[in-house]
Amino acid sequence: MLEAAERVAGRSLRSDAIDPPAVRGGAIRGLFCGGTLCAEAQLVLLRAGLAVRSNVPVPGARRAARDGSGHLLLDLGEDAYTRGRPHPMIEPELRAPRIVEALADPRVAVLLLDVVIGYGAHPDPAGAVAEALARARRRRAFVVASVTGTDADPQGYARQVARLREAGVRVAASNAEAAALAAACVGAGARAAVSRAESPAPDAARRSAAARPDRRGASRRG
């Protein structure tokens, strides 16, 4: 399955073992442009034994609290956030204030992000993330992300990964691995959580598809 996914993606999806940093206490804050990626991350955290909240909770997760407490994963492409405004895959600047806010929140130990590239998506979503991180006054949280796309996409997978790494972001090979790393950072299964992450094959299948506009003109990726 993984070999087939790698043929579709046109690159290796295997990554070296990731050694999670020693983050003690605190919560995971996930800010997602892709709804499917947000759902997948919730499932990974639940599998790691964490209590998860979201504005679009999967079975087993709870709805987000008003005070934003707990391990919170938000789908910023959900209708409540996109009425009368572009989808965050098209305009990732809409996520920037929430990135700055999360990094200033002393409760947040890990910031989990997705970057989705392809036709119809923003020309440099990783650059938008890097700019938001640069504006943050406090960088207490460990930042981990994944890039969904290929080098055949206009933004270029390798260029996006490099941009994130330059900004101090730990880039995982898949969304599931990024979520597992976030779980490991807060002590859920430690290093074993990373090795139990789901296969990146579903991500690879999405990476190979060109983004298709939905009714709001947004990418359907994620």
Q: What is the pLDDT of residues 72-126, one digit of tens each?
A: 999 998 888 888 888 889 988 889 999 999 999 999 999 999 999 999 999 999 9
What single-letter amino acid sits at 156? G
What single-letter amino acid sits at 221? R
β pairing state of 62-63 and 71-75: unpaired
pLDDT tens for residues 132-175? 999 987 667 899 999 999 999 999 999 999 999 999 999 999 99
pTM greater than 0.75: yes
Cα–Cα nearest to 219, from 145, 117, 125: 117
